[in-house]
Amino acid sequence: MDIKSLESQHTSGVYAKRDVVIVRGKGALLYDDQGREYIDCVGGQGVANLGHAHPAVAAAIARQAETLITCPEMFYNDQRAELAARLCALAGMPRLFLCNSGAESIEAAFKFSRLATRRTKIVAAMRGFHGRTFGALSATWNKKYREPFEPLVPGFVHAPYNNLERLAQAMDGETAAVVLEVVQGEGGVYPGSADYLLGAQRLCRQAGALLIIDEVQTGFGRTGRTFAFQHHGLEPDLVCVAKSLAGGLPMGAVLIGERVGEIPTGSHGSTFGGNPLACAAALAVLQTLDRERLPQRAAELGAYLMERLKGLDSPRVREVRGLGLMVGVEIRQKVAPYLQALMERGVLALAAGLTVIRLLPPLVIEQQQLDRVVEALAEVLALDLSEGGEVE
């Protein structure tokens, strides 16, 4: 039985599979079981900021695997302590909670908000995406994700993104927290304005609520700064990170500000959270981000990519938007056939909703590889692959 048949026989069915078997990666390139090369603009859905098989991360994992893989947080650990200090210093926040994924970090932030404020209401943004566990799903906007699992966690409301007046209307004396992405990823790659984000912070301070910033996709250099909130001088109370933190190993964290106050012992926990293997990998990631100036590289290459994409002479393109190497190309048709056509030309990309092609390349990608991505996009956008005409 071949690889695709074997996996199809046993997989849950919750994932829409693409007709390719990926078996190897190096830098910004992936290779299938036939040896064909692809430029990776999926980037593990935002995980592969350092690319694939980065030698520093691979070496750190190998060393730690021979030393100590698991150690629960009831015991102190050298790798965990060093990572905590480094990560808190980078974010300018004093404490953190370590977990295993973005959804877990969001769930923890909601629990900490309710503990700190003794309130229950959470205000989230329309088009926002925060995960698929019940609390994270309750904050996620898209009814496609929500409706099959209702009733969800009570106390969640949504307000339009980038609309400060409507956010203020959604908040009241029962609001525990507001949760926002600096750039909405799954929702279509929409950057928040400085006025909106700083205004949301001001509203939270006035209402006695906490500001949660979801950096699960934007964190660790993706937008041109270590954290996207640093573009606007935000001082969030809780910051959720995951995806690229440990270079491909499952890891998440909640960075915790002073306004959160004391978190009671035993009020939350995670068996695998902060395990030494993931911590060692994350330390290698943070050191590499600094040594290779990857946030600065993302800013420079992102500006170059945006300029080239905005220069595409295609009537199918509605808008190009993004920040750093987090870029969305909104087109007038559904993107699925265009993603297939890109894959046939050796470029792997993501959707962000029905009509946005999302590009999340590794921050180590070369400029000439980005040129090949733009050329492939120009080719496929010249084709009529519309299904039922334009999408309003």
Q: Where are the domains of the chain?
A: 55-291, 293-333+342-360+374-392
Confidence of residue 391 (pLDDT cuts 50, 70, 90): low
Do 293-333+342-360+374-392 and 55-291 have the same topology in CATH?
Answer: no
Q: Topology of 293-333+342-360+374-392 in CATH? A: Aspartate Aminotransferase, domain 1 (3.90.1150)
* Average pLDDT for 22-41: 98
pLDDT the model gives residue 313: 87
Residue 121 appears among annotated catalytic residues: no
238-241/252-256 β-pairing: antiparallel
Task: Look at residue 388 and tell me whether its pLDDT is greater than 60.
Answer: no
Confidence of residue 342 (pLDDT cuts 50, 70, 90): very high
- pLDDT tens for residues 238-288? 999 999 999 999 999 999 999 999 999 999 999 999 999 999 999 999 999
Catalytic residue among 40, 110, 214, 227: 214
Catalytic residue among 97, 110, 112, 129: 129
pLDDT the model gives residue 251: 98
Gap between the Cα atoms of 212 and 238, Å rounded: 5
pLDDT the model gives residue 1: 79
Place of tokens 């909405």: 184
Residue 129 appears among annotated catalytic residues: yes
How buried is 341 (Cβ within 10 angstroms: 0-12 exposed, 13-18 middle, 19+ buried)? middle
* Average pLDDT for 31-50: 98
Catalytic residue among 220, 229, 237, 243: 243
Name the residue among 370, 373, 369 with its Cα closest to residue 381.
373
> Over pLDDT 70: what percentage of the chain?
98
Task: Look at residue 389 and tell me whether its pLDDT is greater than 70.
Answer: no
Gap between the Cα atoms of 370 and 3, Å rounded: 30
Q: Topology of 55-291 in CATH? A: Aspartate Aminotransferase; domain 2 (3.40.640)
Residue 313 appears among annotated catalytic residues: no
